[in-house]
Structure 1
């Protein structure tokens, strides 16, 4: 695990806004109401649990936030699936600055990286301008790196581009004193079970482990080790792998290619699920 202790933020966080794409929106982690949960929502709960409990003697009419078990803590999630870096900077960064929370998590560039011809050096320059802009308006900006994709069939060949982008992100974080949520070093999410059936988004357990790691980065105690080993799994037969690959291509790869050819995005007509800083 990478040592980000120099970036640990020990102060209490009373408000948090997440910006990004499908990863931060929570795709792959469906909730009971039809919306996605995801690591950012789970991380928000971990942050809220650190706030002092509300005073039961205070009247809820005078202090409406006391109806919430998490007291004053407020959370916004501005992320929308399919968004490219420039779209996130244009649509979400201004709103995050307007909300001015104590913490912003910034994860962007993944959808750019998987497009042919993307230059990770140029992408990082645009990312840095957004970090500089955010740093002047909010309390803390947590920078999120990309995953190690060596075990992901579709994304394995992009591993070098992702690694280059990650090096830039760490340098940017150093320059602006940002904590780093290093997903490349989180070994537990390299297991197949950490990923949804589409192989592009995390499963509920994968999102949970990322949330735990994010809390660790801020120096918080967490209820479980995000890198704890997965239970042993039976060996899969080559026939099963081939069958799963064919089914995956039919259900996910072909529709994805179709959307690309038509110039469509999975995020078309999708809006942020929590556009305002609200109590949990």
Structure 2
């Protein structure tokens, strides 16, 4: 890959740092061979960067369930210390789902975070949120999501960030792009999004959308069965955690807390396997 104006090299360094919540951690793209049992679009982007130009180092500080305030207090300082040349940020989606969120204050904090990242000279990649059709119960939040997206677009333009306009990606209207909880992308969704990020950065790749047949129409009985399973498996446990004041990310650490050199062959799976082997021999 030749010189890419979207990915300037700062003092010869190539460091990619991913910040955020479950969206960036990789939830929905299961792989028990990798930290936290997931892979995700950010790992895939890191691997394609390393294949296109060797020497990239990668850290992923994202943890599921984190709010914007957690990203600021827990992830920003470590990210700045890594002196990144490429930063991706998606944060605020969990705040939108919290009923008491002050959207104006949230987006002011978001802008301050972006300003800090952009001030490093790194290429910053931002994302709008998608209008996930989970349930009619969440439709009142659509206005919040639209307000969030508009501010993200404005902030991206103001700070010269690369924008991945997730809201406009029609491929995600197919339910097969989503995991069984209906809130996180499936493996196919993560792969597709990785391709979109790489396209925005001008990085070559061979990721292609799934060539699916049209989705089968569900009978009323099958639809009701899926609804009951979704409520029992995801909705009730979610409300239970909210009542108890806990989240799925409370006991987790970042998947790649320090920049790792991404192997050109075998990618991050090879690195994870090597670490397990070293730990076993120790």
* TM-score of the two chains, using structure 2 as the length reference: 0.85
5 Å-filtered alignment, 1:97-246, equals 97-149=80-132, 151-153=133-135, 155-226=138-209, 230-246=212-228
Aligned residue for 2:52, secondary structure, equals coil
Tell me, in whole angstroms, the C-alpha distance in 1 between the residues paired with 2:173 and 2:216. 17
Tell me, in whole angstroms, the C-alpha distance in 2 between the residues paired with 1:229 and 1:173. 32
| Gaps in structure 1 of 5+ consecutive residues | 1-7, 52-70
Equivalence for 1:39: 41
Aligned length: 253
User: Are 1:273 and 2:275 matched, yes or no?
Assistant: no
Are 1:17 and 1:78, in contact at CA under 8 Å, matched by a contact in 2? yes
User: Are 1:21 and 2:21 matched, yes or no?
Assistant: yes
| Gaps in structure 2 of 5+ consecutive residues | 263-282
Are 1:17 and 1:105, in contact at CA under 8 Å, matched by a contact in 2? yes
Deviation at 1:156, TM superposition (A): 3.5
Spell out, residue by residue over 1:44-72, the C-alpha distance to the aligned partner (whole angstroms, 9 max, x if none). 11222210xxxxxxxxxxxxxxxxxxx31
Spell out, residue by residue over 1:219-259, the C-alpha distance to the aligned partner (whole angstroms, 9 max, x if none). 23332445x76422221111111110011101111010000
Are 2:68 and 2:92, in contact at CA under 8 Å, matched by a contact in 1? yes
Deviation at 1:206, TM superposition (A): 0.5
CA RMSD of aligned residues (A): 1.9
Deviation at 1:152, TM superposition (A): 2.2
Are 1:142 and 1:181, in contact at CA under 8 Å, matched by a contact in 2? yes
User: Are 1:9 and 2:6 matched, yes or no?
Assistant: yes
User: Are 1:81 and 2:86 matched, yes or no?
Assistant: no
Point out the structure with the larger helix share: 2
Tell me, in whole angstroms, the C-alpha distance in 2 between the residues paired with 1:81 and 1:138. 27
Tell me, in whole angstroms, the C-alpha distance in 1 between the residues paired with 2:213 and 2:177. 12
* TM-score of the two chains, using structure 1 as the length reference: 0.85
Structure 1 residue corresponding to 2:245, chosen from 260, 263, 268 = 263
Are 1:14 and 1:48, in contact at CA under 8 Å, matched by a contact in 2? no
Equivalence for 2:280: none
Spell out, residue by residue over 1:5-33, the C-alpha distance to the aligned partner (whole angstroms, 9 max, x if none). xxx71656822010000110001111141
Instruction: After the TM superposition, list the runs of 4 or more consecutive aligned residues in structure 1 that deviate by more than 6 angstroms.
Output: none
